Amino acid sequence: MENVLKGLKPEGVFKYFEEISYIPRCSGDEKRISDYLVEFAKKNGLDYTQEDCLNVIIRKPASKGYENAPTVILQGHMDMVCEKNDDVQHNFCKDPLKLVVDGDMIKADGTTLGADNGIAVAYCLALLADETLQHPAIEAFFTIDEERGMTGVMNLNPEDVKGSILINLDSEEEGEFCVSCAGGVNSIVEIKAEYTDVDSKFDGFYKVKIRGLKGGHSGGEIHKGRGNSNKIIGRVLNAFDFDFVLADIKGGAKSNAIPREAEALIGIKNEDKSKLEEAIKQLDSTLKAELSVTDSAVRIELEATEIPSKIFSNDVKNSVIALLTIIINGVQTMSMSIEDLVESSTSLGVVKIENDVIKFVCALRSSVDSLKQYMVTQIAKAAELVGANFRTKSDYPGWEYKEASEIRDLCAKVFEEMYGKQPKIMAIHAGLECGFLKEKLGDIDMISFGPDTFDVHTPDEHVSISSVKRTYEYLLEVLKNIK
């Protein structure tokens, strides 16, 4: 281990954060990090459970004087979104993250950092290992696969967790306490990729690439109006007023991230090359103007390439362009009861070809279940219009606001005492595991908070060192006050 974070405070938190940064832990590949947590528990003489699905619960008894306090569940997820820049050589299945300290920020070199939600894991491990702290009995609950589909929390055995208070550590803005979150579902539209031979009259083939977008979390940043590369590539293809064929289409990598890049492989008649170049130039200028505030670096690139062995049929080409155009995307409704809260949204996160099937994967979120179901219906109708198949996956519930909450009141009181100001009590449009935990564990008292983390789910992800320190000290003070 390189000890890049050595000397940063609090030492325990950054020691464990660096350790887990060297363990590959993409969603669906959590065996190594799960086993690491088990070994940690054994090394520190702590009781633990490793569930069949690889969730881990580590238990620490109450410190002296806290034996009669309610048990507190500290909860976060061990997996991370694995995204990298195109020019970065990194194998997420085996390579450690390359951490970089830049002033008050920690980031990774060209990849996601995994502070979402590695900071929660590091907080818990530091707390579990420290025998000098005052706290009630602790159940540190680490889930798998939160980013991809929340299957870890879905498969939790409720008998493994006994606490009555839950502090979720998967929030990203210091001083903001989340007390409610949206539910969501993934919708998947599928077209059979029918192919045909390349017509000899189409003798010029090009990759049309969308690059330079910021992307971001499809829940937490959907309101910022950032460009969606999948929608943009559909817009580009739809704007061509000359004959062309389509041989490939792809964009985005994760359904819960606003896609930053997309590309299409098209074929044209060489005589139409100037038309193609002029169309790209005009569209590039239009996009730069439209996205000048949110995505000023957006660009359309054109790259000549070899003639492929096959192309999509004309019907498939038209269906692809139609779906990219008509599938709803972005903010759909705003809450009328909570100021500035996105109520419902969709994000066309992934377009890919698997086993000769073109898939369009959308992440739908809403704090109102009926609106979530209506968005499902809208996308299903879009699929029906082009004769495509439609299904849903990873449906998860929301977390409704609780009128009376002792942990919320205590957290607000401690925050005001420490910092001389009131925290922001809020609902978020992103999904948290708290909805499933409510279903699994009953009417437990819950809250979510965390340090300042920026540009999560993108290679620009970074976390504030000073905010990590303050939030950890705050967490310890909250635990100290639960008696």
DSSP, residue by residue, 416-441: HHHHSSPPEEEEESS--THHHHHHHH
CATH of the domain at 201: 3.30.70.360
| 3 domain residue, yes or no | no
Question: Are 341 and 203 in a shared domain?
Answer: yes
Question: Are 43 and 86 in a shared domain?
Answer: yes
Question: Are 171 and 214 in a shared domain?
Answer: no
| 1 domain residue, yes or no | no
Question: Are 241 and 144 in a shared domain?
Answer: no
Phi-psi region of 227 (alpha: psi -120 to 50; beta: other; left: phi over 0): beta
pLDDT band of residue 113 (cuts 50, 70, 90) is very high
Question: Are 139 and 267 in a shared domain?
Answer: no
Dihedral pair phi/psi, residue 179, rounded to 5°: -125, 10
> In Å, how far from its chain's centre is CA 426?
19
Question: Are 85 and 215 in a shared domain?
Answer: no
Question: Are 313 and 220 in a shared domain?
Answer: yes
Question: Are 344 and 403 in a shared domain?
Answer: no
* Domain stop point among 396, 421, 449: 396
What distance in Å separates the CA atoms of residue 399 and residue 179, rounded to the nearest whole number?
Answer: 8
pTM above 0.75, yes or no: no
Residue 44 identity? N
Name 278's Cβ contacts closer than 8 Å, sequence gap at least 6. none
SS3 295: coil
| 344 domain residue, yes or no | yes
Catalytic residue among 30, 83, 116, 146: 146
pLDDT score recorded for residue 337? 75
Catalytic residue among 18, 30, 79, 460: 79
| 199 domain residue, yes or no | yes
146 is catalytic: yes
| 366 domain residue, yes or no | yes
What distance in Å separates the CA atoms of residue 170 and residue 297, rounded to the nearest whole number?
Answer: 30
Q: Nearest Cα to 418, choosing from 464, 452, 454, 469?
A: 469
356 is catalytic: no
Q: What percent of the chain has pLDDT over 70?
A: 100
**Over residues 443-468, mean pLDDT:** 96
pLDDT score recorded for residue 1? 61
Return the bridge partners of 310, or none: none
Q: What pLDDT, in 10s, does the model give residues 53-104?
A: 999 999 999 999 999 999 999 999 999 999 999 899 999 999 999 999 999 9
Question: Are 224 and 153 in a shared domain?
Answer: no
CATH of the domain at 110: 3.40.630.10
- For residue 371, give its domain range: 185-396
Q: What pLDDT, in 10s, does the model give residues 136-170?
A: 999 999 999 999 888 999 999 999 999 999 999 99
Question: Are 75 and 128 in a shared domain?
Answer: yes
The number of distinct structural domains making up the chain is 2
Kindly tell me if the per-residue pLDDT of 386 is higher than 90: yes
| 72 domain residue, yes or no | yes
- Asked if 180 and 343 touch (Cβ cutoff 8 Å), the reply is no
* Domain stop point among 396, 429, 457: 396
* Domain stop point among 337, 362, 396: 396
| 4 domain residue, yes or no | no
Question: Are 368 and 425 in a shared domain?
Answer: no
Would you call 304 exposed, middle or buried from its count of C-beta atoms within 10 A (0-12, 13-18, 19+)? exposed
Question: Are 412 and 458 in a shared domain?
Answer: yes
